Chains A and B, each alone.
Chain A
Amino acid sequence: TELFSVRQIRKMLFFSFFKTLVGKEVVVELKNDLSICGTLHSVDQYLNMKLLDISVTDPDRFPHMLSVKNCFIRGSVVRYVHLPSEHVDTQLLQDATRKEIAANKK
């Protein structure tokens, strides 16, 4: 049985990609200019993320984050995810992208 619609399969690529980064340290820059560094704990198909052991790059500007160690970030508010280049296989990503586009054309 089809668990996901075709539209959802098309969005799986980055979901699958982020799953490979679970356990790695990333910096998430939000649309409100807050940047959060932390270990990626989990991600879902909306690219919502949960980060552990977080630190904020500008704590004076964002004092409310001082008592926070883990947080859930809604995917819709993310501007960038800064990735550790040693954990990203760009060749694999390109191949996966081409495959997915080819699969969607059918």
Chain B
Amino acid sequence: GVAMASALADPYLPGAISLFEQLDKHLIVVLRDGRKLIGYLRSIDQFANLVLDEVVERTYIQKYYSEISHGILLIRGENVVLAGELDDTIETGQIKVSIDELHKIEQSLEQSSSEGPMSSLTKDDLQPMDEAY
């Protein structure tokens, strides 16, 4: 507690102090490869290496998300983009689904985008330009 605080305030361990207040908090860590890891911050060092506990890896497709459990992870600091404190009281309207369901949602989105926005129109739907005037 106190010993750790004075050790981290040492100028040779800078950067750690910003994360020190987040210890034991529920965080979302975004990695450089785009992954989002959610867990409890247990340990830090000056490189922003992190030990996260009860980790779930969350994948989002629009407002839907699924989670994969990972237990305890040590994350090398160079991969960290940001570490945000999760406010569980905020209502996001986001919906948790299973991994298979999320995969189906992703596939259905890819299908509708490959067909194109005009794919459901027929030539009768399209008015010739001069008639509009």
Interface residues of A (CB under 8 A from B): 3-4, 30, 32, 34, 36, 42-46, 48-50, 54, 60, 63-77
Contacts and interface: CB of A to CB of B under 8 A. Distances in A.
A contact face: mostly helix, strand, loop, or mixed: mixed
A20 B15 CA distance: 17
Contacts of A43: 18
A45 B127 CA distance: 63
Interface of B: 11, 14-15, 17-19, 22, 28, 30, 32, 34, 36, 48, 58, 60, 62-63, 65, 77-78, 80-88, 90, 92, 94
Contacts of A73: 81-82
A44 B14 CA distance: 6
Given A44-B18, A46-B14, A48-B15, A68 B86 contact: yes
Nearest to B63: A63
B81 A32 contact: yes
A48 B48 contact: yes
Contacts of B63: 63
A49 B88 CA distance: 23
Most buried by A among B22, B32, B82: B82
Contacts of A71: 82-85
Nearest to B92: A66
Nearest first, the 3 closest Cβ-Cβ pairs linking A and B are A68-B84, A71-B84, A44-B14
